[in-house]
Structure 1
Amino acid sequence: MLLERLAADWRENPPKGPVIAAGSTGSVPATADLLAVIARLPQGAVILPGLDRTLDDESWKALAEGKHPTHPQAMLARLLAHLGLRRDHVRDWPLTKTDRLRVAARALRMTQIAHAMHPTKLDPEEGCPDPDALAGLQRIDCRERSEEALVAALLMRETLEEPERTAALVTADRVLARAVRAQLARWNISVDDSAGEPLSLSPPARFLQLVASTLAEDFAPVPLLSLLKHPLCALGEKSGNARAFARRLDRFERKGRFLLRGPRIGAGLAGLLAEAEKLSLPKRDCKRIARLNQIFAPLTGLFEDRHEERAGLPELISAHLAVAEALADTGTGDGARRLWGGDAGEKTALVMERLREGALHGIMVERDEYAGLITAVLERESLRRAWGGHPRLQILGTIEARLFHADRMILAGLDEGSWPPLNEPDPWLNRRMRAELGLPPPERRIGQSAHDFVQACGAEEVWLLRAERIDGVPTTPSRWLQRLSVLSREADKPHDAPAPLAWARRLGEAPEVRSCPPPAPRPAAALRPKRISVTAVETLMRDPYSYYARHILGLDELPALDAETGPAERGILLHDILHRYLAERMTRDMPLARAKERDRLLEIAHAAFADFSNRPAVRAFWWPRFLRIAEAFLDLQKQREADGVRPVLLESKTEMALLDDRVTLVAKADRIDRSPDGVELIDYKTGNLPEANRIAAGYAPQLPLEGWMLERGAFRASNGKPLSGPVAQLSFWKLKGSGDTPIERKRIQDHEARIAEAAVGAQRFLERYLQGDAPFLSEPRAGLEAYPAYAHLARRDEWAGLPELDSPDDDGKGKS
């Protein structure tokens, strides 16, 4: 609209002074109309960029008619047709003698490129026979984008070796541009990017996003810790105190229960504070959580009195900014200065204020959508530095490069989808509809990109860079590279890697490192534990190194932050419900009616499931399965009681001295029942049951060892006397809750032999590992440990399966 009004005004009232329009191809109809007016002004001039006079008339006519819109000259041909001019009507720009020499030196190259871009034919035989036609134009195909960035950085760094020589990187890939800037930083070179940096990555903008994310995710551990660790977060204290507070919260643990790690119990800051007080978090840190709750009150208060999690956008933005300033305050009222100071702070404040002013009253935003809105707004903005870039190096977008000249032009990211861009289909208008409405074809952008590419190839020295893969995905070379390759018959020429590519690969080379041998730690006897549980015996047999790392080095696996509830939590939950129910049932002389027993079991289950009230998936997926388990369990218990089988011990802990009292074996049995035939040990399982061949081979000794301990009187009844009677059965009960058998029972066959073998094998292992000097090898028999938690610590991937590495002898001693 503005261009149309300007064109109309100049038609009626031509400017008295000169009017010059330079660098435009008139791709926008309103711009083309304005150029037509300027061309007819008394002192008007239109300077066309890179008009090709060598293209044959037939092809030029086709371009002017709108055919071949991807050709570099397509826009100029249509513009001249719109102006009613032929190419011979356009005069050449007067050049100085130096410029004429420079243009003449590259005329052969530009002719060859023009031939490569011909809209209808590409015949290598018709190209220029001169082998030096493309002199000064070099192509490098890199393996990955990271290598491409390093090559571009090396080319720019080499340029600085010659005084006053300049270089420019031209690319449409902003990720690549940022990677090149990062590579140049290794030489302490700072380069301006004409596209700027994403504002969303600046500290103030990132801080605002973290505040919004923390609110949206109801103060989940990951965004909460990210917010507390941000340099701008202070909580009314020195900024370093907030980061120290975050580290303490991250690792705080009491009796195996982490505050933030593992499945989250309480929701929101109120839930976090309640859990912190329950775990006896130091009072000073509890006060910081309460202060954090106070600071966030303007935001959380917008949703407390509403039935829906929605709030007005202007009020939400105002509260958001107030909370951010309060979080950044170090106790001296400097929150606004710290947050909005500097170029990034000023730009972020301007964007947020513009968003607030533009937000219409009455627009409601969901609590969990606000963070996405803020991120989307900030990602659209760029931050351009006012100063600080190197005077002889530039990183440019394809449009900015039209106005820039450098001695060395590096055209990078030359892959289909990047340069040229993807030809995105219009979801609303097809080609015919676009033509009827006077809209340009979708391929117009490709034609503009082609024009930019050809113009950039006119520099004194040009490097064409691309990556064969980006993020592991193969890429397709730009169509212009493919055309030039065909014309120069580059694919048929054997050649060494260009020097910059060799430099880049040389920089990435690591010195030859011999793989480390398998670890075989031999701690002194005094450092080896004297107490061991039956489950740890199983670990020791399967993977001695895991036992060493956990029980000697004390390296427990750290739970994930805000971990999803998984099989381990499901197993603990079901164990707890059945234990509490059976413990209560054992106190009654007579069982209740079936319906009442069911009601009591479900009442206990409801109380246990309440701890996972903030995990809807637990209720949705686990509860239906538990109901099937409950029905099967009650039926099974009734049948066993009718057969004279009753539980006598639940979750019973015991220990037994071994090896002349030098080692203590510890165990906790899930359940021990007495039957007319003797005593049955039952182990509840929610995962896979041990395979029969592993039990027979002695690699699943937990239940047989408990049977051995029971036979030796280690388990005691409620009256303090050892349980008497033979071990009648060793059973696994798999609590599936699915299929025809919600509870799958599996007995260990030939359990007497398994008990005897486990007793002998365990004592032999304990003698060697806890009393002897046997090395703790990493999975000496691969595959026995399904989820080896310490394989990375043992660097197993480095040495496992490598034939050149020495393997331990049978006695556990490596070759010398």
Structure 2
Amino acid sequence: MTLDALSAHTETVPPAAALEEAAQRLIAQHADALPDLSGLIVLLPSLHAVAPFARALAQAAGRSTLILPRLTTLPQLAAQMPLLQPTTSELERQGLLYGALRERGWLREQDRWSMARALMSLFDELTLHRVALPEDEADFARRLAAAYGAREGPSLRFEARLVHSLWQVHNAVLADRPDATAAYVLRLSRLAREAPAPLYAVGLGQLAPVEVECLLRYAERQPVRVFAPALLEASKDPVQEVLAAAWMAGPDTLGERALRLRERHPASPLANRLRLSAAHGLEQAAQLAEHKLRRWLAEGRQSIAIVAQDRLAARRLRALLERCDILVSDETGWTLSTAAAASVVMRWLDLMASDFHHRELLDFLKSPLIFSDVPAPARREAVYELERLIRSRNLVSRLAHYRIAARETGSTSLALLDRLEAARRLWPREAKPLADWFATLRQTLDGLGITQALRADLAGAQLFALLATLEEDAQKTPGRFHLAEWRRLLDEALEATTFRDASIDSPVVFTHLAATRLRRFDGVILLGAGAEELPSRPEGSPFFNEAVRAELMLPTRRQTLESQRKDLAGLLSGANEVLAIWQSEKDGETHLPSPWFDVLATLHEMAWGDDLALREELRPISPPRSGATPRPAPRLAPAQVPTRISASGYNSLLACPYQYFARHVLGLNEEDEVTVEMEKQDFGQVVHRILARFHARHPVITRLGEEEAERILRAITEEVFAPLLAQNYLNHAWKLAWEAVLPDYLAWQRSREQNDWRVAGQEIARRRRLALDDGTAVELVGTLDRLDRADDRLAVLDYKTGDPSRLRKRLKDAGEDVQLPVYALLAGEQVAEAAYIVLAKEGPTLVPFARDIASEAALVEARLVNILGNLRAGAPLPAHGREESCRHCEMAGLCRRAFWETLP
């Protein structure tokens, strides 16, 4: 049943002035009742049309005072009809269908909630379209097979069995307590029986059969008049005449229709109304829309709509507008799951699932919604302390590990960690009723200081209201559910809920195509006019193809397309100017315009020699380059010159002064990363720790037997590697690599001790004061891996796990590698030997500093004093741009070497 069934009560009105014409006819019909029209009811397609129609009525009545009719929508009018029986919530329905699927063992557990929601949608359609399934399941399967044009295979029989059996379960359980859709049908029936006042309907669009039936039965008791815009008809509206010629099939060709249009309209009705623009990608689409919108605002236009068919481009446009302080009223909204308030809830559940992985934990704690009952400075300091603690101790996960470390160091983060532990204990492993899970979430939000912050946030307040409703509805949902099952239900609920910020009042509105019915705009940007976005793709359903839907008298894709096309036709009549934009290129692939606009452009070019393409000059997407990016060479004020420098900082200063500036002056050094899988650098640090512990306990290993020394070193290896192996099984490979070297290292160490060298210290932090010429001083700092003594001789040694030949190359040129000379300076006394101990798989190798270490250390000290003195005097810190320094430099994006090197 369609609107055609109401043809006896229907009058057409011109699309460009549908509200005005309908208002005039209503006023003419009830002129004797003026100024009181409160005894009438007017149905509109949405509440957006209420204010415009009220203005149209006032203008048509020509009175300063007018008592308006009841202006509403059909669902809202029906909602005012009381029901005697209680209703079933959507959550109860979904839980019922989920339980039936679980009881029968149908589908995977992770698919059941979404299948239950899909079944609810299907059953709602069946209810709204008065479709009754056959009583016999086998008969239903045969009808499906006939509609599909296929044999009754296992998959078809399973579809028939699933739909048929759950439809019966659904109807049997909900017979006494109707769901929302069944309640709507009952209210429509009561509305039709009571028919409280004469009824007018303006531009309602597509109605369900039960709604059409309601209006027909209503008309038996009260006058009913339906005003329908004459869309896509060759009527007196020139715009609709052009659109009908392009979009409505006929016996003649497109060229013949174009010729007739040109004869009837020498000037195109669309010439100053519609323009089409192909953008080369997302950014240009958004910038093109922003450019046009800002121009319209500058012209003083008061009502501008962005019809967001392309949601990604719309989000980018919104960001560009907010950058220019242009706020928009968003009628489309966004899913609640993407709001920060909802992400806090989901991150808490992710934390428990990941055993409080450090990245997720720090991300969670940095949200301002967490621990909102703690003063912000104290909260930030505690989180910062925890982050440093996690990085310094390489803590990957487990709340217990963080709490132990915080307790040992006296960190202020311990109080927050204790609250996290208390919240975690609320979540059991066993199954619980749905309502209990929602109650647990509520208690967790209270305990973590989130509730207060949510109530103060617009999206948070809506989330809190949703959770309260779900908890109340869950009280009537039977069965017990595991945490994973409840989590999937919560995900579904957040994805299905739309958040809209109603606090913004702006002349610019984001909306969707159906919401533009009967509305007038000074300008419209149709963002997403490509073949992928227009017509919109239908929401996927796991049930029934188009043939089956037609057999069951359910809406088909064809009907949906027709409705969208009429909405677009109404938009083009109701807007003073429309700019339709699509992305002609996406991910390197060509994308076509919507077939509706494609054929319209072709017809228009045939008729008037204009393909409707936008030809106005636009500002460039990016400002033109005035030349190459200059090679950076910052200068420091004396107060900016660091008063402390390490061996690595010194090496960085020599390799690239700008690299040193970025790392140590701007403080952009990369933070220590928590590593789960060990890397080569981490391996070297682990070996350092093992040998430091070993030699601290046994400075002279010749006092131990060979087997005893190896046993002790292997025990220390197990001790140091134990937490790393617990983090990641793959770290066993690094342990095996070290254990392969271990016997050779002990042999090498015995040989060294036979030459009278003894380990005198390891992991020794030292500092040295360097006086500058201007009377200031700089502190040279470093940690020496190892000091050896032989009588009155001192050796500075540094462990390495790299390539010996690479280290020899680094030491070949004087002054190129300053690490060993700096360590010699920090040793604080005459150094006889400096070398790297390379712990390679072939065995330990000593790579000695070949030149006189004392002389080289003196030269390194003098050069550093000179460099720092020059920096204090204003010397620049240029970027060298040498390949060997730039290859692994993390500051490459900051100095922009690629630009100043390749551009003229």
Bin the TM-score by the shorter chain: 0.5 to 0.7
Q: Residues 320-361 of structure 1: CA distance to partner in whole angstroms, max 9, x if unpaired?
A: 2123235448xxxxx66x644686555323321233233644
Q: Which residue of 402, 415, 426 maps to 1:290?
A: 415
The percent of aligned pairs where both chains have the same amino acid is: 21
- Closer, same or farther: CA 492–248 of 1 in aligned 2, 3 Å: farther
TM-score with structure 1 setting the length: 0.68
Aligned to 1:272: 402
Match of 2:877 among 752, 772, 776: 776
> Closer, same or farther in 2 for the Cα pair 1:277/1:381, shift >3 Å?
same
Aligned to 1:168: 305
Paired residue type of 2:425: G
- 1:625 matches 2:738: no
Judging changes above 3 Å, is the alpha-carbon distance between structure 1 residues 451 and 674 closer, same or farther for their aligned structure 2 residues? farther
1:137, CA displacement in angstroms?
A: 1.3
Residue 113 of structure 1 aligns with an amino acid whose one-letter code is: A
Match status 1:363 vs 2:485: no
In 2, Cα distance between equivalents of 1:423 and 1:699:
70
Partner of 1:502: 618
Q: What's 1:87 paired with? A: none
Q: Go from structure 1 to structure 2 and tell me whether the alpha carbon gap of 1:447 and 1:760 turns closer, same or farther (over 3 Å shift).
A: farther
Partner of residue 544, structure 1? 657
Is the Cα contact below 8 Å between 1:250 and 1:259 reproduced in 2?
A: no
Whole-Å separation in 2 of the counterparts to 1:246 and 1:745: 49
- What pairs up with 1:94-109 in 2 under 5 angstroms? 100=236, 103-104=237-238, 106-107=239-240, 109=242
- Tell me what 1:616 maps to: 727
2 CA distance for matches of 1:49 and 1:484? 21
Counterpart among 500, 509, 513 of residue 398 in structure 1: 513
SS at match of 1:733: strand
Deviation at 1:300, TM superposition (A): 1.6
**8 Å CA contact 1:38, 1:45 repeated in 2:** no
Aligned residue for 2:535, secondary structure, equals coil
Distance 1:747 1:783 in 2: 25
- Partner of residue 800, structure 1: 900
Q: Which amino acid aligns with 1:324?
A: L
Quick check: 1:302–1:311 contact (8 Å CA) kept in 2?
Answer: no
Equivalent residue number for residue 83 of structure 1: none
Q: Is residue 425 of structure 2 the alignment partner of residue 301 of structure 1?
A: yes
**1:350 has 2:451 as partner:** no
5 Å-filtered alignment, 1:532-681, equals 533-548=646-661, 553=665, 555=667, 557=669, 559=671, 567=679, 568-592=681-705, 594=707, 597-612=709-724, 616-617=727-728, 620-638=729-747, 641=750, 648-649=758-759, 651=762, 653=764, 670=785
Structure 2 distance, partners of 1:579, 1:119, is: 92
Distance, in Å, in 1 between the alignment partners of 2:721 and 2:439 is 39
1:622 match: secondary structure: helix
- Whether contact under 8 Å (1:645, 1:674) holds in the other structure is no
Distance 1:186 1:723 in 2: 61
Give the equivalent residue in structure 2 for 1:752. Answer: 850
3-state SS of paired residue (1:317): helix
1:372–1:545 Cα change, 3 Å: farther
1:259 counterpart SS class? helix
After TM superposition, the structure 1 = structure 2 runs for residues 8-157 of structure 1, keeping only pairs within 5 Å, are 52=232, 100=236, 103-104=237-238, 106-107=239-240, 109-114=242-247, 132=268, 134-135=270-271, 136-149=273-286, 151-152=288-289, 155=292
DSSP 3-state at the match of 2:517: helix
Distance 2:736 2:320 in 1: 59
1:722-733 alignment, distance < 5 Å: 730-731=835-836, 733=838
Tell me if the contact between 1:694 and 1:700 (Cα under 8 Å) persists in the aligned partners.
Answer: yes
In the alignment, the residues of structure 2 paired with residue 799 and residue 197 of structure 1 have an alpha-carbon distance, to the nearest angstrom, of: 39
Secondary structure at the aligned position of 1:363 is classed as coil
Instruction: Give 1:363 shift.
Output: 0.5
Give the C-alpha shift of residue 575 in structure 1. Answer: 1.5
Distance 1:191 1:760 in 2: 67
Equivalent position amino acid for 1:300 in 2: R
Structure 1 residue 630 displacement after superposition:
0.9
CA distance in 1, matches of 2:650, 2:300: 71
Per-residue deviation, 1:142:
3.5
**The residue matched to 1:783 in structure 2 has which SS?**
helix
TM-score by length of 2: 0.62
Q: 1:687: how far off?
A: 5.6
Which of 370, 376, 381 is the aligned partner of 1:248?
A: 381
Pair 397,571 (structure 1): closer, same or farther in 2 beyond 3 Å = same
1:86 matched to which residue of 2? none
CA contact (8 A) 1:538 1:699 kept: no
Give the Cα separation in 1 of the matches to 2:684 and 2:251. 69
Return closer, same or farther for 1:448/1:235 CA change in 2, 3 Å cut-off: closer
Counterpart code for 1:416: A
Query: What's the CA shift for 1:682?
Result: 5.9
Report if aligned partners of 1:652, 1:715 keep a CA contact under 8 Å in 2.
no
8 Å contact from structure 2 (residues 247, 599) kept in 1: no
CA distance in 1, matches of 2:671, 2:316: 33
SS state at 2:332 partner = coil
In structure 2, distance between residues paired with 1:494 and 1:246: 61
Q: 1:704 to 1:767 in 2, by over 3 A?
A: same
Where 2:402 maps in the other structure, the secondary structure is: helix
Question: 1: CA distance between counterparts of 2:554 and 2:252?
Answer: 24
Q: Distance in 2 between matches of 1:408 and 1:663?
A: 66
| Alpha-carbon distance between aligned partners in 2 of 1:124 and 1:732, rounded to the nearest angstrom | 90
Root mean square deviation of aligned Cα: 5.5
Q: 1:555 to 1:477 in 2, by over 3 A?
A: same
In the alignment, the residues of structure 2 paired with residue 160 and residue 758 of structure 1 have an alpha-carbon distance, to the nearest angstrom, of: 70
Residue 244 of structure 1: CA displacement? 1.2
Superposition deviation, residue 364 in structure 1? 0.9
Aligned partner (choices 367, 372, 389) of residue 259 of structure 1: 389
Aligned-partner residue type, residue 532 of structure 2: G
Measured in 2, the distance between the counterparts of 1:110 and 1:585 equals 93
Unaligned runs of 5+ in 1: 55-91, 93-99, 330-334, 717-721, 736-740, 805-816
2:535–2:594: 8 Å Cα contact kept in structure 1?
yes
Distance 1:354 1:698, change over 3 A: farther
Deviation string 1:603-662 (CA, Å, 9 cap, x unpaired) is 32333234557x622xx1112321232133224433664795786336365789999999
Q: 1:493, CA displacement in angstroms? A: 7.7
- Following superposition, the deviation at residue 481 of structure 1 comes to 3.2
Q: 1:648 to 1:659 in 2, by over 3 A?
A: farther
The answer to whether the Cα contact below 8 Å between 2:604 and 2:612 also exists between their aligned partners in 1 is: no
Secondary structure of the residue aligned to 1:139 is: strand
C-alpha distance in 1 between matches for 2:275 and 2:382: 55
CA contact (8 A) 1:680 1:731 kept: no
- TM-superposition CA deviations, 1:690-711 (whole Å, max 9, x none): 366554345752576479779x
Residues 146 and 179 in structure 1, CA contact (< 8 A), matched pair in contact too: yes
Paired residues in the alignment total 700
- Is 1:481 matched up with 2:597? yes
Secondary structure of the residue that 1:410 maps to in structure 2? strand
Q: Distance in 1 between matches of 2:368 and 2:204?
A: 45
Structure 1: distance between partners of 2:796 and 2:250: 85
